[in-house]
Amino acid sequence: MIPVFYASVFAASLLFAGVYMYMWHKHFDVNFTMVFTLVPIACLGYLLSSVARTRSSAITAQQIIYIGGTFLQLFIVFSIFNLCQVNLPRWVRTMLFAACTAVYLSVLTIGHMDIFYRSVSFAIVDGVPVLTKEYGFMHTVFYVLACSFLLVGIITIVYSWLRKKEVPRRVLLLIIIPDLICVLTFFVVLKVLGSDVDLVSLGYVVSESIFLLIAYRVNLYDVSDTVIDSYVQERKVGYVSFDFRQRYLGSNDVAKELVPELMDTAVDELFGYKPSQRKIRHFLEDFKENPENNTFVYTVHTGDENPDDERIYNVNVNYLYDGNRKRGYIITFIDDTANKKYVRLLDTYNEKLQKEVEEKTGHIVEMHDNLIMSLAMMVESRDNSTGGHIKRTSEGVRILTDEIRKEGSILLSEEFCKDVIKAAPLHDLGKIAVDDAVLRKPGRFTAEEYELMKSHAAEGARVTHEILIHTDDESFKTVAENAAHYHHERWDGQGYPDHISGEEIPLEARIMAIADVYDALVSKRVYKEAFGFEKANAIILEGMGTQFDPALKTAYEHARPRLEAYYRNVS
């Protein structure tokens, strides 16, 4: 009956090992695999010991049994450390393995030396083989090692239960069971209760069943692995790896479909030097030159001409890691066709929509500008000038800003220049509030009338603000208000309405001032004839540094020929 029991236990251990192999996943802890390897070996030893008929065969069976007894506890503890996410230094793992190896080497001396067993005798009692032994020093070391592994495992589990919320509680409860079973069946059942049958083998098989439950659950908690596997399955991710010399290491089926050349490439073969492989080589070389440049696009055409038949992949190149060590490169292909086509469709739609918006906006802006220009011309029609002042000053501002940009001492943006030119017609809007009797007076103003006339600058800023209050173009609004408000201010502070000086005067107003005065000089008014270009030029240059910004002198001088040419044509 005893051999039947051990045979059943051995068969059960093989069955559980087979189930584990069926469940096996590349991300399983290697210590689990060692447990499922050692348990059948130990159970085989118990079966052999039950049918031994000689002393030597009984000793060999004991040596097989101790393979499990010596190393099983070690790999269970290693499993506990890994499951509890406790990083055990490599040298500590090596020392523990060396200690177990030393114990097992002493087991191999049974029958030859008195290190593990001082003496051993064999007899068959009532048909049952009995190996009588007297324990030696190393057997005591074996006990100490087994108890130490049990104690360390329990401490680690308790610590993780109290301090590590990320460690699954169900796994912690399960992992303690194999450790306890292996020790208790030996020390309690066998030594205390006594039995003709060694129940340690049964304890090993029960431990196997617990490890099956743990193996089934544990990968669900490994987020990095499960996410990667799920991502690869759902998104059909392709990957191919190379060492640092660009020798091919391997790839999955998806990558081989995308890069058919991989099917004809042998492992360890240099890759990327054939014409058909240059695309992949390009990815690797760009990454080697700049690791931050690791994203590319790879298009696969599945049809002849129809763009809907193409597949678009995002390609990522990264280092291939073995633990913490860089061992080569890995290229991943992620199907991004749907997103790319959606973005392409969205871009087309946005481009069409933007064009329509620009057309409608342009029409609205044009209407707005025409209304402003009409208002400015209406105000001008009340003035005592010969007409055309706002158009001429606008062109004068255009010529001046153009020369300022060419001269380069003052940096003007294109947007600023457009705003100043567009704002020029609005600079005298404030005259709408001046009484006709003053505005249309044919002679010179009295002091009181001059004060009324000067009010048009501040009033112009107010009117401009009200007209443009709801515009979204903040830069133009600011330029237009400043040009209207400050175009009569002087560099020396003697102007109006606020008597500011120097660079306190906005640049747009300083430019506007030159264009406004120049037009007043070379144009005919009811109270004066037009000045000649030489005289007008002399007055402008004389005012540089007093009435006008001296920094604009060079630009004005460059603009003078163009200004004179323009005024000759309009006259």
pLDDT of 446-472, one tens digit each?
Answer: 788 778 888 888 888 888 888 887 777
Helix-, strand-, coil-residue percentages of the chain, each rounded to 5: 65, 10, 25
Report the pLDDT value the prediction gives residue 193, as an integer from 0 to 100. 41
Higher-confidence residue of 349 and 498: namely 498
Q: In degrees to the nearest 10, what's the CA dihedral of 204, 210, 215, 219?
A: -150
Report the pLDDT value the prediction gives residue 192, as an integer from 0 to 100. 44
Residues in Cβ contact with 464 at an 8 Å cutoff, skipping those fewer than 6 apart: 426, 429, 477, 480, 481, 484
Q: Is the pLDDT of residue 541 over 90?
A: yes
Report the pLDDT value the prediction gives residue 173, as an integer from 0 to 100. 76
Q: Which residues of 381-415 are buried (b: 16+ CB within 10 A; e: fewer)?
A: eebebeeebbbbbbbbbbbbbbbbbebeebebeee
CATH number for 357-570 (one of 3.40.190.10, 1.10.3210.10, 1.10.3720.10, 1.10.3080.10): it is 1.10.3210.10
CATH of the domain spanning 2-222: 1.20.1070
Structure tokens that stand for 331 in this block: 């290229």
Residues in Cβ contact with 341 at an 8 Å cutoff, skipping those fewer than 6 apart: 308, 312
Tell me, what DSSP letter sits at residue 409?
S
Beta bridge partners of 121: 132
Report the pLDDT value the prediction gives residue 205, as an integer from 0 to 100. 86
Rounded CA gap, 186 and 46, in Å?
Answer: 13
CB 40 within 8 A of CB 48: no
pLDDT of 403-444, one tens digit each?
Answer: 999 888 888 889 999 989 988 888 888 887 777 777 667 777
pLDDT of 207-246, one tens digit each?
Answer: 888 888 887 766 544 444 444 555 555 556 888 888 888 8
Residues in Cβ contact with 12 at an 8 Å cutoff, skipping those fewer than 6 apart: 205, 208
Q: Is the pLDDT of residue 542 over 90?
A: yes
Rounded CA gap, 147 and 179, in Å?
Answer: 10
Q: What fold characterizes domain 236-335? A: Beta-Lactamase (3.30.450)
Rounded to an integer, the average pLDDT of 331-339 is 79
Confidence of residue 8 (pLDDT cuts 50, 70, 90): very high
Q: At 322, which helix (H) or strand (E)?
A: strand 310-322
Rounded CA gap, 60 and 478, in Å?
Answer: 100
Residues in Cβ contact with 563 at an 8 Å cutoff, skipping those fewer than 6 apart: 396, 399, 518
Q: Is the pLDDT of residue 386 over 60?
A: no
Q: Is the pLDDT of residue 101 over 90?
A: yes
Spans of all domains in the chain: 2-222, 236-335, 357-570
